[in-house]
Amino acid sequence: MKLKALRCSGAFAALLLASVAAQAAELFVAPEGAAGDGSRARPFTALEQARDAVRALKKAGPLPAGGVTIWLQPGVYHRTQTLELTAEDSGTAAAPVVWRAVRQGTAALHAGTFIKPESFQPVTDAAVLARLAPAARGHVLQLKLAPLGLKHAGPFPPVFHDGGGVLHLFCGGRWMPLARWPNTGDVTMAQVLDRGDWSKGAARHGGAFVYREDRPAHWRLEGGVWLEGYWRVPWEPRTLRVQAIDAAKRTITFAEPLGGGIGSKYAKAPALGDGKEPWCAINLLEEIDRPGEWCVDFPAQTLYFWPPQAPWPAAQLFVADFEQPLVTLKEAAHVGLLGLIFEGGLGNGVDITGGASNVIAGCTFRNLGGSGALVRGGVAHAVRSSDFHGLGHGGIYLAGGDRKTLTPARHVAENNQLWALGIRQKTYAVAIHLGAFGSGDAVGCRVAHNYMHDLPHAAVLYGGNDNLLEFNEVARVALTSGDVGAFYTWHDWTSQGNVVRYNFVHDSPRANAFYMDDGDSGDVVEGNVVARCHYGPFIGGGHLNVVRNNLIIATDRGLHFDNRGVARGYAIDKGLRGKLQTLPVTRSPWSTRYPALPKILPLDLGLPHGNVIERNITVACPKPLDLAGKPADFAGNTIRDNLDLGAEDARFVNAAQLDYRLRPDSPVFKKLPAFQPIPFEKIGLQRDEFRKTLPPRTGAAAGGGGVFDSATDIEQTDRTAPPKK
């Protein structure tokens, strides 16, 4: 086993190396070749061999100063099981254990089931040919799934929202679009006839509606027909199995009900819907009508595919079927995963549970059916300078710390680029999920310098306490959903101490930039720049929020504040009250850290109290300040010193190039001298050891024009080729 100096520069040194000059052991792994001893000349051929060699080294004595580096040679490391790292595989601060690609981005842990192009055969069955669109005949090929031994070949369940547990097809390193009608966008229901009954009794049944177009009359129910839609609210898509289609009456009836029923919940009685609820059909043989589309005939266990002209037939083909994480770290500490690619599975990339000071840096997470990197518990884990795209769910998930004691987790998500996510689960599967919505606490975490763009729903969901979200850029989000924030938090009076500052949110006309929804309280939203969104900062009836020194440009409603707690009964809301009862808000450290919170508890909490909206600038906003409620309802809050420039030239450095720094001669400094310059030049991705170049900053023209579609948007935003198999 050779010894060599292992060097790591920048911010990673503090986490991975205690001494740059220390001597580190080296092991080598290659995806192919004869079994070796782990040396450079005779590398291991399995990752588990390297792991076991480190364990043996530790049993023989302390790790060498500088730790151990396991170098992965270029190529595809095909995985049929999770690489499990535990406390036994830990390093120390002075001697970390680092798994690293010899060259960044050339070693891929791949869980896909590879398929040879010649395994696809021409379609000869007359019944199948009759169902195909005329333009597809002669192009569509078939693949029998049973010989592949797949575990997720369907069928879909009656109701789902996350891919239905069924495999996905990839060609040439890209997601292939599941057959759908219409090909892009959606159609709407003409009329809701029956919302459905979602009770548990004998009356339980699916909803029914009248459709507008003629196309459903062509679909056959034998193999199953599923429709995906935002049936009730614009943040909750569901896919439902069809029970019956009546072509004469132009009606569709679902096999199972949807909770709350179909039809917009905002529709005015007696109407059951508003006729704007969007939907589409998926996985239909009849709807394969463009290259790249595919479907699975579940009864026949046959996959049908119209291959794209290029790079077929030389393309790398695989299906994602392996549902476990590629790598898990359970109670491990001081482990680094550097420069690696994680792809091809139906599950997550890397799961970290417990432990301390593990680092993911310079990695790529792509073509996964689940999420990228998940951190649950532990202390001081970091996900840095990595790329996340083409994922079925979200990018990074961070949870940890203790809310009762306000003990921080000190996790970090920094300098990552995340885009084209939520392909299988289109909402609440976001770029960065920071301990919210019952999924774990997040206390004292930092989310900084990330670039999150071209997403179907939110960029960041956050909750918990004392989290810092700063210097991030968000562009083109909420592409298919609505009533959502680029930064979104919800329904918690006790989520105090979160600071959202120096972020740039732009070109997201369906999103509120900073959305403190349904009573959420205690946030500081300061020094941010918003351009061309639906709303800027949005206070939805909560308390003790501070919105200060923000710059909002060409946004429908610049600043929003409402009294919704009066109509919605926040004073007696069980969810809001329940958190107050479970957390020691009147005792230290809570009473010391958040002294204003106990003071508002005796007040009428249906009314908002203690919010501050001050020193904000609005430019070219149709409604600069939107107060929704009676003036008296806002008496317990401070709204002052906000400046609306209207159509006046704010004198930005270069608005056409999205440079919204204010020039020294800007009228802002004369009319509102207290306004503090925003460090706009520091926002977004930064160059470092793992991120040598930066993508250009782009506005509304990128990202598919507001329609998120896996066939087009993934292709437009993914230009990286996979390692060769």
Is 35 inside a domain boundary?
Answer: no
Can you say how many angstroms the Cα of residue 240 is from the centroid of all Cα atoms in its chain? 23
* Predicted confidence (pLDDT) per residue in 416-459, tens digit: 999 999 999 999 999 999 986 666 789 999 999 999 999 999 99
Query: Do 201 and 253 belong together in one domain?
Result: yes
* Predicted confidence (pLDDT) per residue in 133-159, tens digit: 999 999 999 999 999 999 999 999 999
Tell me if 620 sits within 8 A of 557, measured CB to CB.
no
Confidence category of residue 119, pLDDT binned at 50, 70, 90: very high
Distance (Å, whole) CA 399 – CA 27:
32
Q: What is the pLDDT of residue 575?
A: 84
Tell me if 115 sits within 8 A of 725, measured CB to CB.
no
Length of the chain: 725
Q: What is the mean pLDDT of residues 76-96?
A: 97
- Torsion 656-660-665-667 (CA) sign: positive
Q: What is the mean pLDDT of residues 567-577?
A: 87
Query: Do 277 and 302 belong together in one domain?
Result: no
pLDDT of residue 576 exceeding 70: yes
Phi, psi (rounded to 5 degrees) for 532: 60, 55
Q: What is the mean pLDDT of residues 392-415?
A: 97
Is 624 inside a domain boundary?
Answer: no
Q: What is the pLDDT of residue 310?
A: 76
Is 210 inside a domain boundary?
Answer: yes
Confidence category of residue 23, pLDDT binned at 50, 70, 90: low
Q: Name the residue range of residue 307's domain.
A: 113-179+286-318
Q: What is the pLDDT of residue 578?
A: 84
Structure-model confidence comparison of residues 361 and 718, the more confident one: 361
Q: Which two tokens stand for residue 710?
A: 């896996």
Tell me if 101 sits within 8 A of 109, measured CB to CB.
no
Query: Do 229 and 294 belong together in one domain?
Result: no
Q: What is the pLDDT of residue 315?
A: 85
Q: What is the mean pLDDT of residues 92-103?
A: 97
Query: Do 221 and 247 belong together in one domain?
Result: yes
pLDDT of residue 16 exceeding 70: no
Distance (Å, whole) CA 556 – CA 536:
8
pLDDT of residue 311 exceeding 80: no
Q: What is the mean pLDDT of residues 263-291?
A: 95
Q: In this structure, how many other beta carbons lie within 10 angstroms of the beta carbon of residue 253?
A: 17
Q: Report the percentage of the chain scoring pLDDT > 70.
A: 93
Tell me if 342 sits within 8 A of 320, measured CB to CB.
no
Q: What is the pLDDT of residue 24?
A: 80
Query: Do 243 and 170 belong together in one domain?
Result: no
Q: What is the pLDDT of residue 289?
A: 96
Average pLDDT, the chain: 92
Residue with tokens 């009473």, as numbered in its chain: 591
Least confident of 20-29, 146-155, 306-315: 20-29
Q: What is the pLDDT of residue 439?
A: 63
Distance (Å, whole) CA 349 – CA 363:
11
pLDDT of residue 21 exceeding 60: no
Least confident of 100-109, 261-270, 280-289, 539-548: 261-270
Query: Do 308 and 174 belong together in one domain?
Result: yes
What are the CA-CA distances from residue 453 to residues 460, 477, 525, 532 (Å)? Answer: 11, 6, 20, 14
In the chain, the amino acid numbered 380 is A
Query: Do 143 and 275 belong together in one domain?
Result: no
Is 90 inside a domain boundary?
Answer: no
The conformational region for residue 370 under phi > 0 = left, psi -120 to 50 = alpha, else beta, is beta
Residue with tokens 């990197």, as numbered in its chain: 373
Q: What is the pLDDT of residue 724?
A: 41
pLDDT of residue 691 exceeding 70: yes
Confidence category of residue 355, pLDDT binned at 50, 70, 90: very high
Q: In this structure, how many other beta carbons lie within 10 angstroms of the beta carbon of residue 249?
A: 11
* Domain total of the chain: 2
Helix (H) or strand (E) holding 143: strand 141-144
Q: What is the mean pLDDT of residues 103-119?
A: 96
Tell me if 352 sits within 8 A of 374, measured CB to CB.
yes
Is 671 inside a domain boundary?
Answer: no
Tell me if 347 sits within 8 A of 365, measured CB to CB.
no
Tell me if 212 sits within 8 A of 190, measured CB to CB.
yes
Is 119 inside a domain boundary?
Answer: yes
Q: In this structure, how many other beta carbons lie within 10 angstroms of the beta carbon of residue 290?
A: 16
Long-range contacts of 195-204 (CB under 8 A, 24+ apart): 195/261, 195/262, 195/263, 195/272, 196/254, 196/257, 196/258, 196/261, 196/262, 197/257, 198/257, 198/258, 198/259, 198/260, 198/261, 204/257
Confidence category of residue 618, pLDDT binned at 50, 70, 90: very high
* CA angle (594 as vertex; 588, 595 as ends), nearest 5: 85
Among 318, 335, 363, identify where a domain stops. 318
Query: Do 165 and 219 belong together in one domain?
Result: no
Query: Do 273 and 234 belong together in one domain?
Result: yes
Q: What is the pLDDT of residue 371?
A: 97
Distance (Å, whole) CA 330 – CA 351:
8
Distance (Å, whole) CA 158 – CA 161:
10
* Predicted confidence (pLDDT) per residue in 526-539, tens digit: 999 999 999 999 99
Q: What is the pLDDT of residue 238?
A: 97
Query: Do 277 and 292 belong together in one domain?
Result: no
Distance (Å, whole) CA 586 – CA 601:
10
pLDDT of residue 656 exceeding 80: yes
Distance (Å, whole) CA 7 – CA 21:
7
pLDDT of residue 716 exceeding 90: no
Is 215 inside a domain boundary?
Answer: yes
Q: What is the pLDDT of residue 33?
A: 83
What are the CA-CA distances from residue 256 to residues 206, 218, 259, 488 (Å)? Answer: 4, 22, 10, 31
Which 3 state secondary structure label does DSSP give 20? coil
Query: Do 165 and 207 belong together in one domain?
Result: no
Is 402 inside a domain boundary?
Answer: no
Query: Do 237 and 304 belong together in one domain?
Result: no
Q: What is the mean pLDDT of residues 527-555?
A: 98
Q: What is the pLDDT of residue 127?
A: 95
Distance (Å, whole) CA 103 – CA 387:
16
pTM here?
A: 0.93
Among 282, 306, 339, identify where a domain stops. 282
Q: By CB neighbour count within 10 A (0-12 exposed, 13-18 middle, 19+ buried), where does 60 fall?
A: exposed
pLDDT of residue 713 exceeding 80: no
Distance (Å, whole) CA 193 – CA 263:
9
